[in-house]
């Protein structure tokens, strides 16, 4: 099966979010920093040819909505948080192909100083 993605995409990187997500009680109580990258595929031809902002996707709406979502959410897994982010993006832009990469910046794992990320996609024609 061929991939039928639109030729254009908008990529938003390094959105800082503070959310109450984690398996441990203190993670949900105190919250912690997450970093989010998201991508939305769309036909951007009219916007680029005519310099028409109304023919594009307003990513500032998504950033504000996702910041609001992060301030309210309380859950155990970054997978669930990622799913809620996709729901939010879908509510704003409809069923466009989209991808999120959600990074838990400092997971509380003894001796581990890295990060953990979850990538989820929706509305892709092919894997």
* Model confidence pLDDT, tens digit, residues 107-126: 999 999 999 999 999 998 75
To the question of pTM greater than 0.85 for the whole model, the response is yes
Query: What domains can be seen in the chain, in order of their start residue?
Result: 8-122 (3.30.1130.10)
Helix (H) or strand (E) holding 13: strand 8-21
Among candidate residues 125, 119, 127, the one with its CA nearest the CA of residue 39: 119
Residues 6+ apart with CB under 8 A from 109: none
**How many CB atoms are located within 10 Å of the residue 58 CB?**
13
Compute φ and ψ for 80, nearest 5 degrees.
-65, -45
- pLDDT digit string, tens, across residues 76-101: 999 999 999 999 999 999 999 999 99
Length of the chain: 127
């Amino acid at each position: 099966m061929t991939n039928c993605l639109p030729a254009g995409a908008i990529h938003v990187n390094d959105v800082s979010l503070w959310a109450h997500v984690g398996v441990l009680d203190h993670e949900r109580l105190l919250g912690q920093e997450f970093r989010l990258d998201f991508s939305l595929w769309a036909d951007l031809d009219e916007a680029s040819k005519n310099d028409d902002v109304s023919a594009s996707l307003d990513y500032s709406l998504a950033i504000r909505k996702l910041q609001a979502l992060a301030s309210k959410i309380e859950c155990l897994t970054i997978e669930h948080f990622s799913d809620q982010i996709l729901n939010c993006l879908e509510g704003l832009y409809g069923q466009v192909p989209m991808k999120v990469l959600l990074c838990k910046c400092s997971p509380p794992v003894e001796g581990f100083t890295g990060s953990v990320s979850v990538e989820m996609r929706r509305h892709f024609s092919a894997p």
